Structure 1
Amino acid sequence: MSPGAGRTALVTASSVVSKVAAAHAAEADAARGPVTTVVDAVVEAGFARHMVPAAHGGAAGGFGELVRAVAEVGRGCASAAWFASLCAAVGRMAAYLPAEGRAEVWADGPDAVLVGGLLPAGTAEPVAGGWRLSGRWPYVSGVAVADWALLCGKTAEETPSAKFFAVPKGTFEIIDTWHTVGMRGTGSHSLALEDVFVPAHRALDTADLMAGTAPDAAAACHSVPLKAANGITLAAPALGAGSAVLTRWSDLLSAKLAKQGQTVISGPVDRTGIDLTFARSAGEIDLAELLLTRVAEVADSGAVPPELVARNQRDCALAVELLSGAVDRLFRSAGSTAQDEGDVLARGWRDVAGIAGHSGLQFTAGATAYARLVLSGG
C-alpha cells in the first residue's frame, strides 16, 4: 500500500490485527478456523461494525477504507483477512433487513459477528408470522465464532423467491467439513438447521440486495447493488497475501544474491531472471491494487449503473487472476526454502490459489457479463 494512504481508523487498526494474525497463522491453519485472539482483534479494530448503519452504532463506512484495511491484515494472514472482510460484508447485507430485524441483530451493539450462507441451499415454508427454515449451507466462513448467520433460501410459495434469513447462534448445527489446501484458517464449515422459525422481520428479499435498495438507507454503502461490491470483499485478502509473498521472496532472493560468488550445484545465480521475475510480479500486484481501488471508488459512489456493476465484477476477477499468476511465479522461483509448509511464501501460495478458485472470482463469468452488456449497447 502507498505510505500514508487512507490512514483512517480502521486502516490504522488493521496494522495491529495484521501482526496478531501473523503470530497466530500457523495455529489457525492447524485449527482450521479463526482463533479467539484473532477474532477479538478483528472485532476490536472495527471490521464487524464497519458497514453497520450509524443508527445501530456502526460506522457505515466505505469500500476504499475496507480494501486497504483487509489487504493490510492479509499481509499477516489471508485467512484472518477473509474473516475480517466477510464480517464487514455480511454486516452490510444485514442492513437490508426490516427495522425490527436490524434492531434485533444489533441489540447488543454493532460488533455482533455475522457470517453468511450465500448459496440458496435452504427451503423456507411460509407460516403465521414468518417462515420455517431448513437446509444445509456449505462454506460458511467463521461459522464457529458467529453471533448470527444470514442464510439464503428459496421460499416454498406459489411463486418461489430467494430470501435471506437471519438466525442466531444456538439455532443451527456446525458440521466439520473444511479440510482444504488453502485458506485453512477461515473455518468455512457447513451449517445445518431443521424447521427453525424465523419471524418475518428477520427476512429480506434477495432482489433488494441485488438492486441495492436498503430500507432507510442513509449511507452510500447501503445503496450499492450486491454484484458491484461482493467481489471486492473476496479479492482484498489476496492483495495483502500477494504483497506478503513478494516481500518474503525479495528477502530470500536478496540472501541468495549475497552468496552469488559461491559455487552451487545449480550454477551461478541468474540475475537477469531474478530481476525480470521481481519486476513483472511486483507490477502485476500493483495492477491488481489499482483495479481494486477503482472498484472501491465505484462502489463508494452509492447507486451504480449496470455497466459499472459488470465492470466491477470483471475487475475483481482480473485482479485475482493477476495476483494468482504473480504469486505462482514467485513461488516457483524461490527455491527449496519456500517449500516449507510453514513458510510465509508457501502459505501465501496456497491461500491465493484458494481465493482464486472461489466461484465469485471466475474471470469468464465477469468478463462475459461485462462484454455482453457493453457490446449490446446496454
Structure 2
Amino acid sequence: MTACLEIAPHSDSVPTASVRSQVSVPLRFADGFSATVEVLTFHGLADGKEHLLLALGPWEQALLGGASASNSNGPLVRLHSECMTGDVFGSERCDCGPQLREAVEKIAGAGGFLLYLRQEGRGIGLYSKLDAYALQDTGLDTYDANIALGHGGDERDYTAAAQMLEALGAARIRLLSNNPDKASQLTELGIEVSEQVPTGVHLSRANERYLMAKRDRTGHTLELPEATGAAVPGHEEMIARVEALLPRLRGRAEEAEQLRRLPDSTVEDLKGAGVFQLLAPKGLGGHSMGVETYVEVIRRLARGCASTAWTAGHLIEHVWMLARWPRRVQDEVFANGAAPLAAATGAPVGEAVKVPGGFSVSGHWSFASGVMHSEWALLAVQCEGKRLQAIVPVAGLELLDAWHTAGLRGTGSNDLRASALFVPEHRVMDWQLLSAANNPGSRIHQDPMLHTPMATLLNLVAPSTALGSAEYAIDLFREQLLVRKVKNTTEFRQADSALAQARFSQAFGHVATARLHWKEAVQAVAASQQRSDAQMTEEERATYRLSLALSGQASEEAVRMIASASGGSAHRLSHPLQRIQRDVNVLLNHPTLSFDPIVEQSGRGLLGLGFTAPSF
C-alpha cells in the first residue's frame, strides 16, 4: 500500500473533508483488462454517503503537475455515478458500465482519479430508477420519466466530489466526461477544470433514445449517427418553413386584429414549424440557431402579419431567456418540451419583499406581448434597491384586458397584476447575473448564443418587423401599379404614369436603405458573438443601435409613401396596406426604435463620451 497521503490545504469553497483510509485493490474486468488501484475513503463528506476515490496509474506525478503534456494540466478525473444495473449486471439501457471500464483504462494510463459516487439513477435511487425505466417504456425519455415521478431530471450534487479532490490537493484537473453540468458544478465549487475530455460513445440498440436525450436535453458531447436523432433544420429549411406559412398568416391578419391576439391556428402553425425552439439550446431539445436565422424569421413573418412577427420574435427570445436560468428552473419550465411560451415585461418594475422560502411579489405590469398564449411570465421586480426577475405561472396572475391600440393589435400585449404573490426563492434571480455573458445557463449549455447580452435580441425585434412589413408593402404597391386601372387619367395602368414610376422607385429605395442598415446591425451582432464574451465596444453598440434606428426610419418612410400613393381604397379596413401603416407607426414608437434618444446616445458613443442611458 502506498504511503499515507499528506492532506493539502483546503479552499473555502466547500466544507473540509479528510482521508479516512487507503487500501490497494487489484481490479480485473470481464474482457481481461486489469489494474491495481488505491481506494480511498473519507471523513466529513457533505452528504454523509460512502463515496470512494480510486487513484490510478502515476497519480502522484499527475497531482504534482508532471512535465509530460498528458498531465501538465492536472490529473485525469472521472466522476462516475453508481449504476448497479450497468456497472454490475451489464445493462445496455445506459452506457454506465462501458464508461466505467473505459475510464479505468484511460486514467490508469494518464494518472488520476475515478470518483465512484453513490448517486444511483442521477440521484433518485435504485428503486426510483427502475420505476423510471417503466415510464420510459411508455414513451417518456430518461429525464421526463424522473420528473413524472416527482424528482428532478438530474438531482446530483457534486459537493462531496469537490471535497474528495480538495482533500488530495487536486485543485486543477482534466475532467473525463461528456456532461457539461459536472464541469459547471466543480468550477462553482472551486475546482479548476483545465480541460473536459469526452468519453467514447457506447451506443447500443437499447440505449439509443437514452443517449439522444442526454445529448439533446442536457448538452452532453455525444456524436451520434445522424439517423438516431430528430432532424434539426438548417437556416434555409427554417426560412422555407416560415415562407410556407405566409399565405395563411395574411389570411388571418384581420382575424388577429379582431381577436386582439394571435389565432390559435397561427400559434399551432408556428409550433409545427419549430419556430419557438429556434434559439433553445440543443441540450433542451432546441435548434440552437444564431442571430441571423432569428432576425430573418421575424422579418419573413412580418411579410405575412406584423403582429405575428412581433409576438413570435418575443416568444422565441423568452425561451432563450429561460435557458439562462439555473438547472432547477430549467427542469421546471422545460418539463413539457423545448419551447415553453413565456411573456416578459419590465414596465413598470414591480416590488418583491423577502419572505421565508422566497419572495412576496406585487405590481402592475404593462405590454406583456404574447401573454395570451403563455404558460409563464417573466416579471421585473425590485427588492431593496436591486433589480430582479421573477418567473411565475401566468395562471397565478390577474390578466387585464388593456391592449386597445391602433396598430399591432394582434399581439395581445395586455397588462398583468399581482398582489402579494408568493414566488419560490429559486425562481427569482438578480437581473445583472441573468444579463451577464457568464449567466448560469451558459455554464450548463455550450450554445454561444447564451453569452449574448440580454438586451441585444430585444433591440432587433422591432426593426426586423418594420423591415418585413415595408417589404410586404412594396410588393403590394408593385402589384397595384401593374394591374390597377387608374380613374380620371389616360393611362390604363398606374404603372404607366411617370409620377407613379418615380414614387415606386423612391419607395423601393427607402426599403433598400432600410435593408442595408438592418443587415449592417445584424452583422455587428454576429461578429461580436465570435468573441468569447460576445460584448460590443461602445462604438460598436452606438453604430449597431444607430443602424437599427435608421432602418426603422427608412421602413416607415417607405410605407408612408406607398400609402399616400395608393388611393382611397387602400384605407379600407379590409386592405392590408392600412394595417401595415398602423403597425409600423406603432413600431416606431417602441423604445427600441425611438429615434431621438437613440441618435443622442449613439452620438455620445461615436464621440467617445460614454452613454448616459445604462440600458442602451
TM-score (norm 2): 0.57
Say which SS state the counterpart of residue 335 (structure 2) adopts.
coil
Cα deviation for residue 206 of structure 1 reads 2.1
Question: Match of 2:558?
Answer: 326
CA distance in 1, matches of 2:326, 2:235: 34
Cα deviation for residue 228 of structure 1 reads 3.1
Q: Which moved more, 1:273-282 or 1:33-42?
A: 273-282
CA distance in 1, matches of 2:483, 2:577: 15
Cα deviation for residue 112 of structure 1 reads 1.5
CA distance in 2, matches of 1:328, 1:18: 23
2:480 to 252, 256, 263: 252
Question: Could you report, residue by residue, the CA deviation over 1:79-126 in whole angstroms, capped at 9, with x for unpaired residues?
Answer: 011111111111122222222112211111112211111324311111
Match for 2:585: what amino acid?
Answer: A
Q: Which moved more, 1:293-302 or 1:127-136?
A: 293-302
Q: Which moved more, 1:67-76 or 1:284-293?
A: 284-293
Over the matched positions of the two proteins, sequence identity in percent amounts to: 27
1:46 to 270, 274, 289: 274
Question: Match of 2:570?
Answer: 338
Match for 1:180: what amino acid?
Answer: T
2:510 to 284, 289, 296: 284
CA distance in 2, matches of 1:334, 1:210: 45
Q: Does 1:203 align with 2:440?
A: no
Question: Match of 2:415?
Answer: 190
CA spacing shift, 1:374–1:282, aligned 2, 3 Å: same
Match for 2:412: what amino acid?
Answer: G
Question: Could you report, residue by residue, the CA deviation over 1:309-353 in whole angstroms, capped at 9, with x for unpaired residues?
Answer: 232222222211110111011101111121111211111111111
Q: How does 1:137-176 map to 2 (within 5 A)?
A: 137-155=365-383, 157=384, 160-176=385-401
Say which SS state the counterpart of residue 76 (structure 1) adopts.
coil
Match for 1:278: what amino acid?
Answer: F
1:306 to 537, 548, 554: 537
Say which SS state the counterpart of residue 193 (structure 1) adopts.
strand
Say which SS state the counterpart of residue 24 (structure 1) adopts.
helix
Is the CA contact 1:298–1:304 (under 8 Å) kept in the aligned structure 2? Answer: no
CA spacing shift, 1:271–1:204, aligned 2, 3 Å: farther
Cα deviation for residue 269 of structure 1 reads 8.2
CA spacing shift, 1:9–1:125, aligned 2, 3 Å: farther
CA spacing shift, 1:57–1:163, aligned 2, 3 Å: same
Question: Match of 2:239?
Answer: 11
Question: Match of 2:293?
Answer: 65
Cα deviation for residue 263 of structure 1 reads 7.9
Is the CA contact 1:231–1:317 (under 8 Å) kept in the aligned structure 2? Answer: no
CA distance in 1, matches of 2:491, 2:479: 20
CA distance in 1, matches of 2:543, 2:433: 20
Question: Could you report, residue by residue, the CA deviation over 1:108-149 in whole angstroms, capped at 9, with x for unpaired residues?
Answer: 111221111132431111122321111111111121111111
Q: Does 1:235 align with 2:466?
A: no
Question: Match of 2:598?
Answer: 366
Say which SS state the counterpart of residue 179 (structure 1) adopts.
coil
Is the CA contact 1:74–1:241 (under 8 Å) kept in the aligned structure 2? Answer: yes
Say which SS state the counterpart of residue 110 (structure 1) adopts.
coil
2:320 to 87, 92, 104: 92
Question: Could you report, residue by residue, the CA deviation over 1:28-62 in whole angstroms, capped at 9, with x for unpaired residues?
Answer: 11111111001111122222211122221122221
CA distance in 2, matches of 1:99, 1:62: 22
Question: Could you report, residue by residue, the CA deviation over 1:177-232 in whole angstroms, capped at 9, with x for unpaired residues?
Answer: 11111111111111112222222222232223544332242222211123333211
Say which SS state the counterpart of residue 151 (structure 1) adopts.
strand
Question: Match of 1:22?
Answer: 250
Higher relative contact order (CA 8 A, sep 6+): 1
CA spacing shift, 1:205–1:312, aligned 2, 3 Å: farther
Match for 2:265: what amino acid?
Answer: T
CA distance in 2, matches of 1:36, 1:150: 22
Is the CA contact 1:131–1:200 (under 8 Å) kept in the aligned structure 2? Answer: yes
Q: Does 1:297 align with 2:529?
A: no
CA distance in 1, matches of 2:435, 2:544: 14
CA spacing shift, 1:109–1:127, aligned 2, 3 Å: same
Match for 1:49: what amino acid?
Answer: Q
CA spacing shift, 1:223–1:263, aligned 2, 3 Å: closer
Greater Cα radius of gyration, structure 1 or 2: 2
Cα deviation for residue 260 of structure 1 reads 8.5
Cα deviation for residue 290 of structure 1 reads 2.3
Provide structure 1 residue ranges, at least 5 long, that are not aligned to the other structure: 1-5
TM-score (norm 1): 0.90
CA distance in 2, matches of 1:280, 1:223: 40
Q: Does 1:76 align with 2:291?
A: no
Is the CA contact 1:165–1:204 (under 8 Å) kept in the aligned structure 2? Answer: yes
Match for 1:206: what amino acid?
Answer: W
1:357 to 589, 595, 600: 589
Is the CA contact 2:343–2:374 (under 8 Å) kept in the aligned structure 1? Answer: yes
CA distance in 2, matches of 1:193, 1:41: 32
Say which SS state the counterpart of residue 112 (structure 1) adopts.
coil
Cα RMSD over matched residues? Answer: 2.2
Q: Which moved more, 1:296-305 or 1:160-169?
A: 296-305
CA distance in 2, matches of 1:69, 1:315: 19
CA distance in 1, matches of 2:235, 2:498: 37
Is the CA contact 1:146–1:169 (under 8 Å) kept in the aligned structure 2? Answer: yes
Say which SS state the counterpart of residue 339 (structure 2) adopts.
coil
Q: Does 1:33 align with 2:261?
A: yes
CA spacing shift, 1:313–1:213, aligned 2, 3 Å: farther
CA distance in 1, matches of 2:523, 2:356: 43
Is the CA contact 1:131–1:197 (under 8 Å) kept in the aligned structure 2? Answer: yes
Q: Which moved more, 1:66-75 or 1:202-211?
A: 202-211
Question: Match of 1:213?
Answer: 438
Match for 2:431: what amino acid?
Answer: T
CA distance in 2, matches of 1:298, 1:7: 19
CA distance in 2, matches of 1:89, 1:99: 19
CA distance in 1, matches of 2:491, 2:460: 47
More helix by share: 1
Provide structure 2 residue ranges, at least 5 long, that are not aligned to the other structure: 1-233, 611-616
Cα deviation for residue 25 of structure 1 reads 0.8
Match for 2:460: what amino acid?
Answer: I
Say which SS state the counterpart of residue 395 (structure 2) adopts.
coil
CA spacing shift, 1:319–1:14, aligned 2, 3 Å: same
